[in-house]
Structure 1
């Protein structure tokens, strides 16, 4: 067996606990002077100047408005000052710009921004006497060369996201969304296109060829693509807001796709009990942002968030614990991520939650079986509507083994009464249109 056939080991990743946030609040120096006198029975004296040095009389503390009598010259005339009353450090004429300060939860040292990434900034505690740093330093191998210390995580690190993924609209219609206008064909032909293209996994050109050879319908592959794209936009609100009979056990995973030959990613979050896909996202990166969006889509299905009762299983990728931390910060949703690492059950956690991971991996294989016939997607929009249609088919139209292949995962009365698959696609589009009208009415 070749070495590359073995599953690579995940790099150990640890998400540090949240930093201490010190908010900037205005103070009154007169109140602070009286409070200090009340506590210690003595007054705060004015600063005693030495060697005839003075500071401008119009210098005031930006935090407590203390006059120049209580202001230190903090760096020998170079423009930095410190207030003796509240301890605020500031520069000449500075209005404090930072609304908050991030400090290390272990030593209280102010975090220093070190790296700017695409969607976040890395803050680091540089205090050499920090207990977190000293503890990690003691855990290093005794025979480790000094130049190899950078391979280990020693300092406390916090990632501050620059984009708020919690304010993005998950149900906004894309700009290219259009209405159905049948000039040459009709709704039944559109249902046939979706049946061949989505259910049977035929490419756009093969779908057009099948309609010509089986039904004697002349249609171009471009028109098939237009039908599929518009149907995906109309159906998406229905499948995203449907009241799934879900449980508190979720599994998540990401898989690779190709868009014009460039690697992309699809994120899936499924209910392990009902097998329904609750969250999905197509992205060009494997960053934390798309993971947050997929998790938001899944958590919207909960009428009441289960909190710590939620079982959320994923692999060892670092995006999942980082996303969990952001949910705690932004929405106060506290839940644990259970990471199943590797292919063998080497620990009790992997043994218990391996079935969760196997089900989400089986979902990936089912998706890839329909995706591979297209080789890759031709555009970002094509990948988005292709995955959206497949999720609709998987959740509402595809017979599933869970029900002995007799019905789909989610049984809708209107779809059950349809005589054939093209009719079911038409009804699914109708349900999507009704959902859009309801959302627009509620928004208005």
Structure 2
């Protein structure tokens, strides 16, 4: 149904490397060819608020701010992003492994109800490979994640709960980055489809993201391949947050 219509230059160069060598086309020349043909990805600026943190439910401290993430299923990051149109709203709940960037669980819903997040978490738990290891669940302080129903599932799965302390998106940078990839490269927020078709589209896109798309912070391994080992040190980006610089693993 869908196609990867906007993969980044470095990933595309990595995929086509052997063929480009035969044509004697280096990285800079390849970049120039894409630029001259208007084929570079243009970042989107649109933003939809999906987090409401002014509620009565309990909030948790940030457990991963100074944590060195060194293996899969050490930290999961959760987020909700808007992918629909005004007359057909759709919301995508994601659970992503912070180390491998593998999307472990997801759910597409036409509302911001807690059940969509719970469904994503249940899928992620079902897909775990290392259930005996300790695992931190990190999210923003949205009402869905703080709700009694969601917190019950976290306790049931014996997860440690971690939450952002401010509205700063860099506190949940991995989740924000994955949202950007799905929207900018796979363009999942440009389709005007019924809910049933959006669910099929998202499933296809996430399978491609997990199994085919090389990831820069994984040293160009796909998320699925990165998830099967724990010896590679993941790369970090330097991100600017107001006047401060932070290392962000994405």
TM-score computed with the length of structure 1 as normaliser: 0.33
Give a deviation string over 1:402-423, Cα, whole Å, max 9, x none: 2443x422249xxxxxxxxxxx
Say whether residues 1:395 and 2:221 are aligned partners: no
Contact 1:313–1:338, Cα closer than 8 Å, also in 2: yes
From 337, 340, 350, give the equivalent of 2:161.
337
User: Quick one: distance in 1 between partners of 2:154 and 2:190?
Assistant: 39
Q: Displacement of 1:298 after TM fit?
A: 0.6
Contact 1:10–1:341, Cα closer than 8 Å, also in 2: no
User: Quick one: distance in 1 between partners of 2:118 and 2:186?
Assistant: 24
In the superposition, relative to structure 1, how do residues 291 and 306 fare at CA in structure 2: closer, same or farther (>3 Å)?
farther
User: Quick one: distance in 1 between partners of 2:123 and 2:111?
Assistant: 18
Q: Displacement of 1:392 after TM fit?
A: 0.8
Say whether residues 1:320 and 2:135 are aligned partners: no
In the superposition, relative to structure 1, how do residues 288 and 306 fare at CA in structure 2: closer, same or farther (>3 Å)?
farther
Give the match for residue 14 of structure 1.
57
Provide the secondary structure at the position in 2 that maps to 1:258.
Answer: coil
Determine which structure has greater relative contact order: mean sequence separation of CA pairs < 8 Å that are 6+ residues apart, divided by chain length. 2
User: Quick one: distance in 1 between partners of 2:113 and 2:223?
Assistant: 30
User: Quick one: distance in 2 between partners of 1:382 and 1:273?
Assistant: 30
Give a deviation string over 1:227-260, Cα, whole Å, max 9, x none: xxxxxxxxxxxxxxxxxx8322100000001157
Provide the secondary structure at the position in 2 that maps to 1:342.
Answer: coil
After TM superposition, the structure 1 = structure 2 runs for residues 23-62 of structure 1, keeping only pairs within 5 Å, are: none
State the Cα RMSD in Å: 3.2
Provide the secondary structure at the position in 2 that maps to 1:393.
Answer: helix
User: Quick one: distance in 1 between partners of 2:119 and 2:188?
Assistant: 28
Give a deviation string over 1:25-74, Cα, whole Å, max 9, x none: xxxxxxxxxxxxxxxxxxxxxxxxxxxxxxxxxxxxxxxxxxxxxxxxxx
Q: Displacement of 1:316 after TM fit?
A: 1.0
After TM superposition, the structure 1 = structure 2 runs for residues 137-286 of structure 1, keeping only pairs within 5 Å, are: 246-259=72-85, 261-286=87-112
Give the match for residue 224 of structure 2.
410
After TM superposition, the structure 1 = structure 2 runs for residues 3-152 of structure 1, keeping only pairs within 5 Å, are: 10-15=53-58
Contact 2:214–2:223, Cα closer than 8 Å, also in 1: yes
User: Quick one: distance in 2 between partners of 1:411 and 1:366?
Assistant: 18
In the superposition, relative to structure 1, how do residues 295 and 302 fare at CA in structure 2: closer, same or farther (>3 Å)?
same
Provide the secondary structure at the position in 2 that maps to 1:262.
Answer: coil
In the superposition, relative to structure 1, how do residues 361 and 328 fare at CA in structure 2: closer, same or farther (>3 Å)?
closer
Provide the secondary structure at the position in 2 that maps to 1:410.
Answer: helix
Q: Displacement of 1:261 after TM fit?
A: 3.0
Q: Displacement of 1:271 after TM fit?
A: 0.4
> Which range moves more in the overlay, 393-402 or 297-306?
297-306
Q: Which runs of 5+ in 2 are unaligned?
A: 1-46, 60-70, 227-250
Provide the secondary structure at the position in 1 that maps to 2:95.
Answer: strand
Give a deviation string over 1:284-340, Cα, whole Å, max 9, x none: 111111111100011112356458x321110111111324433268xx333332111
Give a deviation string over 1:129-166, Cα, whole Å, max 9, x none: xxxxxxxxxxxxxxxxxxxxxxxxxxxxxxxxxxxxxx
Q: Size of the alignment, in residue pairs?
A: 166
